[in-house]
Amino acid sequence: MAHLIHADYTEFELAAKLYAAAKDDDRLSISRLSTKMSVNIVDELGRSPVFSAAYYGNADAIQSLAAKGANVKLQDLEGCTALHYACQQGNFDAVKRLCEAGAKPNVPDNDGSTPVFAAAESKHLNCIEILISYGANLDPIAGMEDRAPLLVVVYDGDNSSLVCCLSPSPRHPTSFRPLFLGALEGGDCICFFSGAPTSLKRDLGDAYATSHTI
């Protein structure tokens, strides 16, 4: 249902309506409000309405906002983009729509984490796949070689349901090690290989893990 928009609304009230429309996936209100104010208005945390749409998984709202000029590359005060939040929540359609609209998968936040970290930490493998298809960098962050993005879930997961994504990097051969450790601990291990050597997949063995090649 479209939000009511009165001619005498203040700028603050219009902004509140726009954020609500993004949260509620109200494309009609987004279209109306975009004629009265910028869709790139930000709140006290530096987040624009597209952040709300991304967090709540509203792909259509993202498309509407982008069509009205929303900056999908905007970073908030923590350095996060809307893509970080969509990945954190596992909103696959929102992640895909943001990437289609020009969001960059390799933008780090203030801690150096890219959206693929957010997806990996929350075990949203479908989001990881779409990020990879749009060029997500799987190499470890400089100075954090023990935290390749797709190994985060090995460290943060529990052994009863261990999800592990592998980032093969010839510069960091030890980045394979947590994969073996996780598999040998006996958990259900889902391994995502991006260009991993066939020998590595074979050595891991079906007894320890199910591999899914991407």
Give me the mean pLDDT over the 62-69 stretch: 97
In this predicted structure, what is the pLDDT of residue 78?
Answer: 97
Under 8 Å between Cβ of 4 and 33: no
In this predicted structure, what is the pLDDT of residue 26?
Answer: 95
Query: Is 3.40.630.30 the CATH classification of the domain at 8-137?
Result: no
Alpha helices in 24-164 (DSSP H): 27-33, 49-55, 59-67, 82-89, 92-100, 115-121, 125-133, 152-156
In the chain, where the domains are located: 8-137, 140-214
In this predicted structure, what is the pLDDT of residue 166?
Answer: 47
In this predicted structure, what is the pLDDT of residue 179?
Answer: 39
pLDDT at 157 over 60: no
pTM of the prediction? 0.72
Higher pLDDT, 67 or 167: 67
In this predicted structure, what is the pLDDT of residue 123?
Answer: 76
